[in-house]
Structure 1
Amino acid sequence: MLLTVLAFVVTLGVLVTVHEWGHYWVARRCGVKVLTFSIGFGKPLLRWQRGDERWQLAAIPLGGFVRMLDEREAPALPHEVSQAFNRQHPFKKILIVVAGPLANLVLALLLYAGLYVHGVDAIRPIAGQVTPASIADRAGFRPGDEIVSVNGRPVASWDEAFVGLLDAAGDAAPVRVGVRSADAQTTVRSLPLDQLGRAVYEPRLLIRLGFTPYPLTTTIERVEAGSAAANAGLMAGDVITSLNGAPLEQWADLQAVLQQRAQALTLGVRRGEVVRQISVVPTSVEVSGRKIGRLGLEPAVDERLWQQYQVQLKYPPLAALSAASEKIAIQTKLTLAMFGRMIVGKASLDQVSGPLTIATYAGESARLGLSNFIEYLALISLSLAVLNLLPVPLLDGGHLLYHVVELLTGRPVSPQVEAIGQRVGLTLLLALMALALFNDIHRLFLG
């Protein structure tokens, strides 16, 4: 818990500081007087003075602000009128507003590029298992197949394959997947993602398609206490050799049967030198609105194959910047596309996450090591940049919209219009925050 809290505070602290520094740095260079630079909202916990500027850390760490001299808020002294934000040319206002999200974008670019220079641990996109009768199985994928490209774009890891599939999810045509089979034959297969409906935009996309990256064996690694498997007498170390009288070739065959319904099963089990038949009745559980069976077993991973699947992606500096830029471009496109699909009802609203989920993932990434935490920091920084540029009043994108209108019309947006925008923006943001908090609680405590 302490690590999670610390990782969350560091994440917000770094991202908010970089964001507000962007606004501050450009405002100063545009000749605008800055009154307050605050990390956090509410009551100041720590404050200090730098010339005419007040710098502070406030009690609520969910954001920050840069308060500039503005005659709409308070009168300016005669000699400072030219330094007021409201007196600036619309182009300068646009630069100041965009600078915050742009700073987060630059941070994400540098973090990703730094990781690529240092080397990023990844998993080769090899199908450890392919679920029988799944979309991947019907498309011709088999265990040991390696994905080498998605719609012509080369991929070197499961993360890149996942992003490539998501990027193509909105296309009506099936995705063209370049595959190198276990016998080194290369071919192109078609994956009809539209068969998944809205589920195509979920984090479990690969599993829903039928891919399991882990090379699972039919050896039992762990048996959950009190589960159907434990009650039937199954133990860790047992090897399941048959299912309902037929040889069990891969763990996915057992998963496929359980996905159909909770039906009684007869398992051939080798324990030591003895093979016995064990009958077990799976527990019926509801997942995504349908009943499936659950045994409470965890299979062992083929460690020899798993080691072969490990890879480190490492590039020289210029290539790292190029790879980071491409990654950011794709993720930005996906983020915007996801918002668009949620608005029109083509993607589930449960993808929206709030501070509890961010804190949880920050802690998990920190536990996995510095590289994982830096990659998570880059992802959140990029998300913050994109979301802040949405044309919603109270966000940077809303202010940007006002200043673009001023640039085009030659006059500022009226106070009445801004007041209406503030109310609409506040309503939208409160609704979004409520949805995010609801999803957080459901995901962490009820999911």
Structure 2
Amino acid sequence: MGVLTALAILAGLIVVHEAGHFFAATWQGIRVSGFSVGFGPVLLERQRRGVQFALRAIPLGGFVSFPDDDEESTIPADDPDLLRNRPIPQRALVIAAGVLANLLLAWSVLVAQGLVVGIPAGFSATPGVLVAGVQSGQAAAASGLRPGDRILSADGVNLGGGQSAVAQLVERVKGAPDQTLQLQAERAGQTVTIALTPADVSGIGRIGAQLQPSGSEAFRRAKGPGEILSQANRDFASLTRRTVEGFVTLATHFGETAGQVSGPVKIVEMGASLAKQGGSSLFLYTALISINLAVLNALPLPLLDGGQFVFLMLEGLRGKPLPEKFQLAFMQSGFVFLVGLSLVLIVKDTSQLAAVQQLLGR
């Protein structure tokens, strides 16, 4: 059920994103020919008012198609309702609407969290630091550290609990490149000893693990709509800032952070785990993935909304569109890159699944 819940959330986020493009176009009277979830061969389809609504075989996104892209379209090239014949501001709205839809959804989910779960009322910490995830091939994985382990002490020093425990362990790791730390951890009710040697990355210790406080967050009923909106605004701003910072770090320190990039398999695995926990976790997961989807699509890369927006800006500066051959080459190279990257991430994330690791005897 957890996996199905995570898949349903991801599918819903894709639908919302594409719906943003679709409704921004139809609201302005722009012709639309298709609304697809997924890529490749059509599995299911339905025609409604001249629009093909389709579910396709490759679940790596979705798209809204326009008659402009169909060489066999019978619509005259000078039809004023074709997307390419509309003013730049109208086309810009269609392009930006997917990103805006995901951001609006994320904010709405955080408001719903305040209504359903309540307002955070403090963190009930338990001793130790929880290992939320471990990257394959990194120091944490090599030491035998596993997701779900609760690290209680490092070199005989108890870590305590809460965020301060996480900060203390992170500082010890950063200050011990190529030095072995003796960790005491709790795993499935038993205490285990782990020898962890952080890798030396530019003089700083790195282990390739996601760490978080051990415990649970308490919630209370909101005092009114104003408190719900204020909390949603704070959470939305925090999640958006952290997401943007993450993409900036990836771009500026690619060699050090590329291993942390996750694909759809890892995202579903994380969502399935959070779905089992229930409470606020699933709300935050949905909001975070929706914001990530918005920021990712805003990047100026081929096939993404940001790349289309760059084309539109250049058209506005030049007074005419870029040559079609250039646009086609740009899009084709982007398609090869994004599909290749997706396949690499799927293989990498699948190989790190616990079931696969057990099958391989690791």
Residue equivalent to 1:34: 32
Count, aligned residues: 306
Residue 205 of structure 1: CA displacement? 6.1
Unaligned runs of 5+ in 2: 129-151, 174-178, 185-191, 201-213
Alignment-mate amino acid for residue 99 of structure 1: A
Match of 1:50 among 37, 48, 51: 48
Match of 2:181 among 260, 263, 273: 260
Q: What secondary structure is seen at the aligned counterpart in 1 of 2:353?
A: helix
Residue 352 of structure 1: CA displacement? 0.9
Residue 335 of structure 1: CA displacement? 1.7
Aligned-residue sequence identity (percent) comes to: 30
Residue 385 of structure 1: CA displacement? 0.8
TM-score (norm 2): 0.71
> Which is further off, 96-105 or 401-410?
401-410
Match of 2:232 among 303, 306, 324: 324
CA distance in 1, matches of 2:238, 2:194: 40
Please list, as runs of the form range in 1=range in 2, the aligned pairs for 1:1-40 lying within 5 A after superposition.
3-40=1-38
Structure-2 change in CA distance of 1:127 and 1:360 (3 Å)? closer
Please list, as runs of the form range in 1=range in 2, the aligned pairs for 1:82-93 lying within 5 A after superposition.
82-93=80-91
The CA deviation string for residues 136-184 of structure 1, in whole angstroms up to 9 with x for no partner, is x9xxx9958x8xxxxxxxxxxx6xx99xxxxxxxxxxxxxxxxxxxxxx
CA distance in 1, matches of 2:74, 2:82: 7
Please list, as runs of the form range in 1=range in 2, the aligned pairs for 1:47-446 lying within 5 A after superposition.
47-70=45-68, 73-78=71-76, 81-120=79-118, 124-125=122-123, 128-129=126-127, 143=160, 207-209=169-171, 260-261=181-182, 285-286=195-196, 288-289=198-199, 310-312=218-220, 314=222, 316-345=224-253, 347-369=256-278, 371-445=280-354, 446=357
CA distance in 2, matches of 1:334, 1:442: 27
Structure-2 change in CA distance of 1:10 and 1:417 (3 Å)? same
TM-score (norm 1): 0.59
Alignment-mate amino acid for residue 87 of structure 2: H
CA distance in 2, matches of 1:443, 1:114: 33
CA distance in 2, matches of 1:370, 1:380: 17
Residues 357, 440 of structure 1: 8 Å contact kept: yes
Unaligned runs of 5+ in 1: 147-157, 163-203, 212-257, 264-281, 291-300
The CA deviation string for residues 1-40 of structure 1, in whole angstroms up to 9 with x for no partner, is xx24412331122111111111010101222111111222
Residue equivalent to 1:229: none
Residues 32, 69 of structure 1: 8 Å contact kept: no
Residues 5, 275 of structure 2: 8 Å contact kept: yes
Provide the alpha-carbon RMSD of the alignment: 3.7
The CA deviation string for residues 386-434 of structure 1, in whole angstroms up to 9 with x for no partner, is 1111110111110011112222332112213313322442344245324
CA distance in 2, matches of 1:382, 1:262: 35
Residues 12, 63 of structure 1: 8 Å contact kept: no
